[in-house]
C-alpha cells in the first residue's frame, strides 16, 4: 500500500505536535514547541497522511559527526519520528524511513543518526547501535578523590544563571565535539536543553550551572539539579549531573571536585555518561562509583556505504573486502574493497568482484563503524560471517578506535 509522504506544511504544525504527544505519551511544553518551530526546517520534516490528516512524522536536521581518526562528515540527525497509535502496523513508518533516507542520500549525507525509543524498531531500517553509555551513582558522604585529584586545581569554579549558561556552554561544546568519535555538532539552543533544561519544566527551579575557568578561559561546564531522593523526605537529596563537558584534565577534575563538595546532598547520580568515565580512577576507592545501568545511546545508519567507509580513518594498514547486505536501501548492497596504506589514514574504497573476506548486514556495519563493537563479537550470530581465515581479526584491528565512541547530545 502506498502512502502520501511529503514535507510538512506550516498549517500542519499543530497536527505534527499533537501526533508527537500522542505517540510519546506527553505533550511538550509551549516554550519548547516555540523553539522547535523557530528552528525546524520544514522541507526536512516529513509527514504521513490519511487523507488530509497527519498521522505520522519523521524529521531530520543536517549536522556534522566526528569519526574515528577525528575526520568529520555531514550527518542527518533524525528526530520527531512518530506514528499515531490508530495508524500503526500499516507500513507508514517504513514509508517515512525510506523517503527520509532517499532524501539524505540525495543531499550528500552519507550517515544518519538517532536515539531509539525502543531497541527493536530501527534495525530493520539499517540502523545499528553505535555509541554506548552508563548511569553512575556515587555516595558522596564517603567518596573522596585520591591524590592528585584531591589537590586544588589551578582554575576556579564560577556559577552562572540559565541565560549566561546558554551563552557560555556552546563555545565549550563546539571545541569539544571534534575531539571524540560519535559526537555531533550542535546548531542551536534546542541541542542544549538536556543541559539547561526545558524552559517550561517544573524542575527548572532546582537546576544550577557552573563553569571551570582558568586564565580567563572557560575550559568546562556542568549542569546539575538538586532533587529529593524520596518524595517523603525533602532533606535527603541527591545531585543529578545532567551534563558535564570538559576540554582539559584540570577542568574535569575541578568540576567533579565541585559536585562532590555540594552541601546538604547524599548522592551523585550521573546518567548518560561514557563507558570509560575517568572519575573511577580518581577516587580513593574506585568501587564507590557504581554502574547501575549500561546501554545504547546513539544509533547510526550508513546511507551511502562507500562514502561512509571512505570518510573515517583506520588505525591499522591493510586490505579487507566486505560484502554488505542492505535490503532496505538496495543501492548499498554489494562488495567493497577497503585498502588502508598507513596508520590512521583513510581507506581507498571501491566496488569489487573479488571474493569477500567478511559478509555482514548494513546494521552490523553501523555498529562496528565507529569502533564501539569489534566485528568478532558477532562471530556467533549470522549477522557477520567470516569468509576468509583470519579476516575477523584483521577487521577488528582495522575498525578499532583509540577510545570508545560516545554521544553526549541526547536528541
Q: Which positions are catalytic? A: 122, 411
Helices (H), 82-123: 92-106
DSSP 181-232: TT-B---SGGGGHHHH--TT-GGGGGEEEEEEEETTEEEEEEEEEEEEEETT
DSSP 116-159: -SSTTTGGGGT-EE--EEEEEEEETTT--BPTTTTSPPSSEEEE
Is the peptide bond between 88 and the residue preceding it cis, with omega within 30 degrees of 0?
no
Q: What b/e sequence results for 234-257 when a residue is b if at least 16 CB atoms lie within 10 Å of its CB, and e otherwise?
A: eeebbbbbbbbbbbeebbbbbbbb
Q: Tally Cβ neighbours within 10 Å of residue 384.
A: 23
Q: Tally Cβ neighbours within 10 Å of residue 61.
A: 21
Reduced to 3 states (helix: H, G, I; strand: E, B; else coil), residue 108 is coil
3-state secondary structure 230-247: ECCEEEEEEEEEEEEEEC
* Residue 330, Ramachandran bin (φ over 0: left; ψ between -120 and 50: alpha; else beta): alpha
Contact 177, 183 (CB under 8 A): yes
- Phi, psi at 117, each rounded to 5°: -70, -30
Helix (H) or strand (E) holding 60: strand 53-66
Mention every residue, 6+ apart, whose C-beta is less than 8 A from residue 80: 16, 20, 45, 57, 58, 59
Record the cell numbers describing residue 8, joined without a space. 510538512
Amino acid at each position: 500500500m502506498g502512502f502520501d509522504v511529503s514535507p510538512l506544511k506550516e498549517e500542519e504544525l499543530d497536527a505534527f505536535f499533537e501526533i508527537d504527544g500522542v505517540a510519546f505519551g506527553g505533550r511538550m511544553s509551549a516554550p519548547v514547541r516555540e523553539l522547535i518551530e523557530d528552528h525546524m526546517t520544514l522541507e526536512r520534516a516529513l509527514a504521513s497522511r490519511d487523507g488530509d490528516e497527519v498521522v505520522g512524522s519523521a524529521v531530520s536536521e543536517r549536522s556534522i559527526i566526528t569519526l574515528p581518526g577525528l575526520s568529520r562528515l555531514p550527518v542527518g540527525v533524525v528526530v520527531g519520528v512518530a506514528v499515531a497509535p490508530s495508524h500503526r502496523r500499516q507500513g507508514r513508518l517504513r514509508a517515512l524511513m525510506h523517503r527520509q533516507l532517499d532524501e539524505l542520500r540525495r543531499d550528500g549525507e552519507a550517515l544518519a543518526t538517532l536515539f531509539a525509543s525502543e531497541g527493536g524498531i530501527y534495525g530493520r531500517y539499517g540502523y545499528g547501535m553505535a555509541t554506548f553509555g552508563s548511569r553512575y551513582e556515587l555516595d558522596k558522604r564517603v567518596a573522596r578523590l585520591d591524590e592528585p585529584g584531591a589537590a586544588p586545581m589551578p582554575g576556579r569554579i564560577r556559577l552562572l544563571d540559565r541565560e549566561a549558561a546558554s551563552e557560555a556552554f556552546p563555545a565549550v561544546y563546539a571545541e569539544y565535539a571534534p575531539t571524540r568519535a560519535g559526537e555531533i555538532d550542535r546548531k542551536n539552543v534546542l541541542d542544549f536543553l538536556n543541559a539547561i533544561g526545558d524552559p517550561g519544566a517544573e524542575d527548572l527551579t532546582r537546576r544550577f550551572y557552573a563553569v571551570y575557568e582558568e586564565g580567563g578561559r572557560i575550559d568546562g561546564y556542568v549542569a546539575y539539579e538538586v532533587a529529593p531522593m524520596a518524595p517523603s523526605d525533602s532533606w535527603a537529596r541527591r545531585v543529578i549531573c545532567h551534563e558535564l563537558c570538559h576540554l582539559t584534565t584540570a577542568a574535569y577534575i575541578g568540576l567533579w571536585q565541585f559536585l562532590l563538595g555540594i552541601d546538604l546532598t547524599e548522592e551523585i547520580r550521573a546518567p548518560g555518561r561514557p563507558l570509560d568515565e575517568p572519575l573511577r580512577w580518581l577516587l580513593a576507592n574506585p568501587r564507590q562509583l557504581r554502574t547501575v545501568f549500561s546501554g545504547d545511546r546513539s544509533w547510526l545508519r550508513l546511507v551511502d556505504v562507500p562514502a561512509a567507509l571512505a570518510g573515517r580513518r583506520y588505525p591499522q594498514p591493510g586490505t579487507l573486502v566486505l560484502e554488505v547486505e542492505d535490503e532496505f536501501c538496495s543501492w548499498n548492497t554489494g562488495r567493497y574493497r577497503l585498502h588502508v596504506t598507513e596508520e590512521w589514514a583513510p581507506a581507498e574504497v571501491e566496488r569489487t568482484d573479488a571474493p569477500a573476506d567478511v559478509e555482514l548486514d548494513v546494521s552490523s556495519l553501523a555498529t562496528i563503524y565507529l569502533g564501539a563493537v569489534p566485528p568478532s563479537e558477532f562471530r556467533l550470530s549470522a549477522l557477520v560471517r567470516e569468509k576468509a581465515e583470519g579476516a575477523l581479526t584483521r577487521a577488528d584491528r582495522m575498525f578499532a578506535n583509540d577510545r570508545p565512541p560516545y554521544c553526549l547530545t541526547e536528541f
